[in-house]
Structure 1
């Protein structure tokens, strides 16, 4: 294993150091946790509902439009609006062209979204990315640079598909045969998911601590990009008159990109001195969607808690009114009988 630190210098003469060994260890640990979490997410899958989404793929089609139509376009518009350098602009567009990330499945579970739709969208976007990513890159990055140096790691996409399909399939089987055990696994998975989100946030800031000193326009683009993605997915789903649980799901699937895949493409496709400047954008994007996602979950939990409280209060008041009406009716009837 190469334990040597790779040090690159960007155009602003800032030294950006990445420790490959720590990166490998953290990535491996996170991958193991993700596989277990995907197994627990598979425990939420309902086979009949999954088939319904496949037979009537309205939600999946909206997600496809958001993933490979809206997100690359947003990246392109942001790059133009902030007048980014060609290398920076390509990093932004490349992030927008990536398929959905696994974090969307966790957050969808926490906001009571449509888990079956979320898993379908993640699988479909990863599969379709094999053709859509090169197409989107051709459309949106030829303004800045020749695409001859950019290669799509199809092996990585294939591994991502397998890493999704196997644990989800195992989880769905557990849910079918042992539903009680599935419920326990879901609870464990939700707790580990919280821990994993924290590990990812801390790990990114530890391994890529120099990312916050990049060009200001580049940094701001990375921060606002996922927020715009979340909003765009929500609006398009609402326009399509999807139920609110699907609106939340499509919003999360749109805003959360597979930044790990984006980082791999950058490392494989560009020389070290260029990769050093580009690699931090998907990391900033990840930190931003984590903050946005946690904010959305917290807001939803507060809203849900207040709604339940108001519902219980209303129910109590209704029950009291009905009891009073019943008692009054009984008393009136008794008085009439006595007369």
Structure 2
């Protein structure tokens, strides 16, 4: 079991590398990985079930303890990223399917990888986890509404159907994981070390499936999508940081909100795009999955060397306030 836990931790730390490797393999060998396309929703459900096994009541206690900080993070997530996506689709010419996909990933909640990057960047991990948890729970209502409001000009949007999809793939697995955590805590405690491996495998297969199914279209427009994703993610990280600074938050909190805003639950974006739009609309989410883990690691490394002016030593990742 110790060997499995060590291997799982290693895979979790090298997440970005595995995503890149299998995205390239899927592009070169599409027939090998396209078989996973029908399993995208199931794979995401498994990932969210794993999140449910680790989420705790104290994650939500942070909301009551410091609601203003969490509000800044949640508002930044659901305002900055969707509006940036809309701006990019207006400024850069792209097909309706790609535009809808860019907007969709911008309207998704924060991704759990943001919590890891915040830890590595010596940011406020408790705040990051609270923001991820709140945006995830709000996603069934907020994400379909934002997609309907901003993407309807490109493709038809069935907000109610999207709402039901998010409930099935996010809330139900989360609730099941949380319930099992309470019913069988010893078994869950034993399984937790293997969860990074499960999450990485799930995301890697989702990305590989999307790349494989869209291999020809990626060859035609992949560079454009990559540029849009890099701009979307980079501006999100930057504006998230400055929004937190404008709100008067400390350096550790600014780090957390910057990473939280810039990193999306792109697995959810890929699943929703494939189910409600088209395979091509899922490509921005797949590219986002690859890129935001690279950029997140780079930003975390930079943040880890930043210190609050006038404070001896940087604020640590274990800071709770």
Asked whether the two chains share a fold, i.e. TM above 0.5, the reply is: yes
Change (3 A) 1:241 1:197: farther
Confirm or deny that 1:213 pairs with 2:213.
Answer: no
> What aligned pairs does 1:254-265 form with structure 2 within 5 A after superposition?
254-265=261-272
**Which residue is 2:285 aligned to?**
282
Q: Which has the larger radius of gyration?
A: 1
Confirm or deny that 1:291 pairs with 2:305.
Answer: no
Instruction: Provide the rounded CA distance (Å) in 2 between the counterparts of 1:25 and 1:86.
Output: 25
Is residue 123–residue 164 contact of structure 1 (8 Å, CA) maintained in 2?
no
Confirm or deny that 1:247 pairs with 2:247.
Answer: no
SS in 2 for 1:218: helix
Q: Which runs of 5+ in 1 are unaligned?
A: 1-15, 312-339
Shift of 1:32: 5.8
Confirm or deny that 1:51 pairs with 2:58.
Answer: no
Is residue 120–residue 300 contact of structure 2 (8 Å, CA) maintained in 1?
yes
Change (3 A) 1:158 1:151: closer
> What aligned pairs does 1:310-329 form with structure 2 within 5 A after superposition?
none
**Which residue is 1:60 aligned to?**
70
Is residue 223–residue 288 contact of structure 1 (8 Å, CA) maintained in 2?
yes
**Which residue is 1:133 aligned to?**
143
Instruction: Provide the rounded CA distance (Å) in 2 between the counterparts of 1:105 and 1:162.
Output: 22
Pick 1 or 2: higher relative contact order, CA cutoff 8 A, min separation 6.
2
**Which residue is 2:106 aligned to?**
96
Change (3 A) 1:203 1:71: closer
Confirm or deny that 1:227 pairs with 2:230.
Answer: no
Is residue 37–residue 209 contact of structure 2 (8 Å, CA) maintained in 1?
no
Range that drifts further, 226-235 or 202-211: 202-211
Change (3 A) 1:21 1:143: closer
Change (3 A) 1:17 1:73: farther
**Which residue is 2:91 aligned to?**
81
Shift of 1:142: 3.4
TM-score (norm 2): 0.68
TM-score (norm 1): 0.65
Is residue 118–residue 250 contact of structure 1 (8 Å, CA) maintained in 2?
yes
> Aligned to 2:132, which of 111, 122, 127?
122
Deviations 1:209-239 (A, max 9, x none): 5375241323311232112111111110111
Change (3 A) 1:162 1:199: closer
Range that drifts further, 53-62 or 156-165: 156-165
Q: Which runs of 5+ in 2 are unaligned?
A: 1-29, 314-321
Is residue 18–residue 207 contact of structure 1 (8 Å, CA) maintained in 2?
no
Deviations 1:170-194 (A, max 9, x none): 88999xx99xxx8x999x57xx749
Q: How many residues align?
A: 276
